[in-house]
Structure 1
Amino acid sequence: MGQSVVSVVCVLSLIVGTCFASSQVSDRITELPGQPKNVGFAQYSGYVTVNEQAGRALFYWLVETPASRKPESRPLVLWLNGGPGCSSVAYGAAEEIGPFHIRPDGKTLYLNPYAWSSLANLLFLESPAGVGFSYTNTSSDLYTAGDKKTAEDAYTFLVNWFERFPQYKHRDFYIAGESYAGHYVPQLSQIVYQRNKGVQNPIINFKGFLVGNAVTDDYHDYVGTFEYWWTHGLISDSTYRLLRVACDFGSSQHPSLECMKALNVAVLEQGKIDPYSIYTRPCNNTQSLKRELKGHYPWMSRAYDPCTDRYSEVYFNRPEVQKALHANLTRISYPWKTCSDIVGNYWADSPLSMLPIYQELIAAGLRIWVYSGDTDAVVPVTATRYSIDALKLPTITNWYPWYDNGKVGGWSQVYKGLTFVTVTGAGHEVPLHRPRQAFILFKSFLENKPLPS
């Protein structure tokens, strides 16, 4: 989508005479239903086509830094949620790092005091097609989504999005995400890094990435997860021994029958807890405890849910909200959901390890931070530590506690080429459970400074 396709109009903006694409102007959100008045920042949302032939279009929501904080001087951060098949609008935007959270009535919004958008311009992407408002006119796409296509489509999205928002073309750019975005973020980072070297491709001013409670390497993730369950008293000694023998730690895409049986026993032993946040009460609906024991990470259900995502399911299905967001223009034949079961259940390809990509991008000198909430039993801190350890990086700054108002906020270790941070008392979605500590972490990442010690 070049300049020839998108007509360019000059609109009066804060900087008189700035030229914006006309489609950018039509993507401007005037106001969301139920939002507080006079918020002081601009928002845009809409669709970017990533494959004309198949009719694949991805939905985005851009939240700029408040005008008082000079958005034009702030970096751009793309946020991706995982699943696979879960919406960045439902999780990242609406209950973690976005400017608004949804009240239990499903109708009104309130300001998030720890919104990451006060530090950077945030771009939320519902990816791949079939997730949230993102759609495809080729229904087979829903059954063939996988890591490779997701990364390629996300790159195409970025290239086309920068054409629509040329004022961001040369801005410092970072990619962030959590959970299964532990695959999306490094894979997209690798494509951006590699294509930046090509003569034909537009240069994206890519500086680095940030991932939290990230699926990283199957072998180490399995070992570390079973160990976490056992050391936190969630399973018996005998089940722990059985899991270690029966689950062959990432040598194949699908666990054996013996492994599945052992995992079923582990689920029964763990009981009615929220595995995404083991010390907080689960939502009082058994649906939130449903675990789909299939696929790549058999203990990982599709979404974290102590009720907050119920509110987004109500809010984003309201016709007036969709109209304000310029969403669902083609009237997709299904309701908006926080996670797509079809996309998640039929996931096509998922490499066993992201570590080779880490090695390539560390060598390239990109900024890489990995963080972990330490009360998550789905992609636990032990899994992440084993994965990082496998990179065999030299230590620059040894393990140290970091502080927020005199209280330990977590721990950190700085390696050559990678910074690891834990957030104490946080579950799978760190900014949901520990919003203030997550904000401090994000600020340190952007400034490339160690956490306050």
Structure 2
Amino acid sequence: MKAIKNWKIRKIPFLKGPWPLLRVPNQGKKEGLDRGRMVTESRRLAVLYLLFFAAFPSDVTAASAFERQLQSRVTALPGQSFNVSFAHYSGYVTVNKEAGRALFYWFFEATEDPASKPLVLWLNGGPGCSSIAYGLAEELGPFHVKADGKSLYPNPYSWNQVANILFLDSPVGVGFSYANNSQDVVTNGDKRTAQDSLAFLKNWFKLFPQYRGREFYLTGESYAGHYVPQLAQAIVRSQKLTGEKSINLKGYMVGNALTDDYHDHYGVFHFMWTAGLISDQTYKLLNIFCDFQSFVHTSSACERILDIADKELGNIDPYSIFTPSCTANVTLSRNKLLKRRHSLGIIGEKYDPCTEKHSTVYFNLPEVQKALHVNPAYAPKKWETCSDAVNENWKDSESSVLHIYHELISQGLRIWIFSGDTDAVIPVASTRYNVNALKLPTVTPWHAWYDDGQVGGWTQAYKGLTFVTVRGAGHEVPLHQPKLALVLFKSFLSGRPMPTLTELNVPM
């Protein structure tokens, strides 16, 4: 069905001394910052400068990195009428000089004491969808876009409350990431994406050397169910070969994640049928023609049945089946409508099922792109939340990454899988089939977890893996249930079980 077939499984010259740094560029009363904030920020920069050169007292490379950090600092965002207590940076990291491939990132320090907090990378999927568009702008990032497409509001459940968060648009052709050779955009696949993401991390740590050796975690959702384990595997194998340990990988967590084509398809069809979304006949035909198909490269026979199921679904939001879909511009094609996302809204914000549309307006504003240091020579003519060129031309896609789980569990990594239970794209049924296929011994049996005295979901701990469901959440858990998602994230970082009825939320 198009509803499955086309869903994006998502998506300064060197300063000679520290004192010139005490002037915070472009951050005065004009941007709403008072003198006290400027003094605090000046002191923070001075301390950062001293920490840099205490660690690298005669290292010219470190000096260059500090200089580049200052250049990548985001000093003010259009439409931001509120102050923040953290620094953030954005720009490009070259991952292949010969091919001219560069990936765009946006990095947010933790709101308090970032030097003591872990570093976390977030990836969206698609393949072909932007982590800036989804993970940052409508899920777990500190800024979300208002309905006017021109202004921002703060997210009270931002994950940078407890960690330093790095968002990456990967692979090239996604968001603001680019390649000099246009053919690279239509020849992406799992293998090169993992290689380029590893190259990104190695070069990013050169740009931010103060994070070398910091506790590091990978997180993501949807097709990042491929990206995250594959990148974790690439990191582990690379460090075994080279002995280099700047990337201190401790674990990863993925949500509503594409993991194994057979189990994921079987779970999708099972979920849609039991939820009453498709007919008995269509359910049978899906299992006959699609069970063993690739999620990315389906056969024509399977696509015909998927089209039938799409019509039976009707105009619902498959990413969250019990909430309204975006009905703006109803003349759009089915594919475009199904790429819409919806928002349950944040406290103080009106419910809005068309959040993706607002981000599209905002990130196409020239002043926003300038503030984010987007390279004007390579900026897309129109910034899009998801790239059809990347998605429709995807090359290699592993049929299963379960073997990677076994490999990395043996390395002692902390591995969590979570699932919003109202998602019909990669539903909780799919994830349960995948977890069961790993055949891991149970450590803590299935039970409810709680937040503020209410059931937040259910969880089971296995030897080497923890599985968590989030009650009432769709495909994008931090969007649909932001408070519960933050509880989940805190538990994952601490390595503690999800809170029970008699426990308080996990302290950090």
Give me the whole-angstrom Cα distance separating, in 2, the residues matched to 1:441 and 1:451.
7
Among 401, 420, 429, the alignment partner of 1:373 is: 420
- 1:191 corresponds in structure 2 to 234
- Report the TM-score, using the length of structure 2 for normalisation: 0.83
Matches within 5 A, 1:401-412: 401-412=448-459
- 2:254 corresponds in structure 1 to 211
SS at match of 2:50: coil
Whether 1:17 aligns to 2:50 is yes
Matches within 5 A, 1:127-142: 127-142=170-185
SS at match of 1:244: helix
Amino acid across the alignment from 1:18: L
Amino acid across the alignment from 2:413: L
State the shift of 1:333 in Å.
4.6
SS at match of 1:370: strand
Among 277, 283, 294, the alignment partner of 1:240 is: 283
Give me the whole-angstrom Cα distance separating, in 2, the residues matched to 1:155 and 1:164.
14
Matches within 5 A, 1:14-413: 14-15=46-47, 17-19=50-52, 21=65, 22-66=67-111, 69-199=112-242, 201-250=244-293, 254-285=297-328, 286=330, 290-291=334-335, 304-305=341-342, 306-413=353-460
Amino acid across the alignment from 1:62: F
Once the two structures are superposed, residues 224-244 of structure 1 have per-residue CA deviations (whole angstroms, 9 ceiling, x without a partner) of 110000000001111111111
Give me the whole-angstrom Cα distance separating, in 1, the residues matched to 2:332 and 2:420.
20
Amino acid across the alignment from 1:290: R
Give me the whole-angstrom Cα distance separating, in 2, the residues matched to 1:14 and 1:32.
23
| Residue ranges of structure 2 left out of the alignment (5+ in a row) | 1-12, 22-44, 53-62, 343-352, 501-508
Once the two structures are superposed, residues 65-99 of structure 1 have per-residue CA deviations (whole angstroms, 9 ceiling, x without a partner) of 12xx2110000000000000000000001000000
Instruction: Confirm or deny: 8 A CA contact 1:274 1:289 kept in the other structure.
Output: no
Amino acid across the alignment from 1:337: E
State the shift of 1:256 in Å.
3.3
Instruction: Confirm or deny: 8 A CA contact 2:120 2:165 kept in the other structure.
Output: yes
State the shift of 1:213 in Å.
0.4
State the shift of 1:255 in Å.
3.1
State the shift of 1:328 in Å.
3.1
- 2:31 corresponds in structure 1 to none
| Residue ranges of structure 1 left out of the alignment (5+ in a row) | 1-5, 293-299
Whether 1:439 aligns to 2:486 is yes
SS at match of 1:18: helix
Query: CA 1:425/1:14 → structure 2, altered by over 3 Å: closer, same or farther?
Result: farther
Give me the whole-angstrom Cα distance separating, in 1, the residues matched to 2:474 and 2:98.
41
Once the two structures are superposed, residues 216-275 of structure 1 have per-residue CA deviations (whole angstroms, 9 ceiling, x without a partner) of 000100111100000000011111111111224247974333322221111111111100
SS at match of 2:469: strand
Give me the whole-angstrom Cα distance separating, in 2, the residues matched to 1:116 and 1:165.
20
SS at match of 2:447: strand
Identity of aligned residues (%): 58
Give me the whole-angstrom Cα distance separating, in 1, the residues matched to 2:496 and 2:332.
38
- 1:295 corresponds in structure 2 to none
Amino acid across the alignment from 2:481: R
- 1:423 corresponds in structure 2 to 470
Give me the whole-angstrom Cα distance separating, in 1, the residues matched to 2:95 and 2:449.
42
**Structure in which a larger fraction of residues adopt helix:** 2
Amino acid across the alignment from 2:327: N
Once the two structures are superposed, residues 119-147 of structure 1 have per-residue CA deviations (whole angstroms, 9 ceiling, x without a partner) of 00000001101111101110100110011
Once the two structures are superposed, residues 270-293 of structure 1 have per-residue CA deviations (whole angstroms, 9 ceiling, x without a partner) of 11110000000000133787248x
Q: How many residues align?
A: 439
Once the two structures are superposed, residues 366-398 of structure 1 have per-residue CA deviations (whole angstroms, 9 ceiling, x without a partner) of 000000000000000000100110000000000
Instruction: Confirm or deny: 8 A CA contact 2:326 2:341 kept in the other structure.
Output: no
Amino acid across the alignment from 2:261: D
Give me the whole-angstrom Cα distance separating, in 2, the residues matched to 1:264 and 1:381.
23
Query: CA 1:315/1:193 → structure 2, altered by over 3 Å: closer, same or farther?
Result: same
Structure 1 moving runs of 4+ over 6 Å = 6-10
Give me the whole-angstrom Cα distance separating, in 2, the residues matched to 1:449 and 1:407.
19
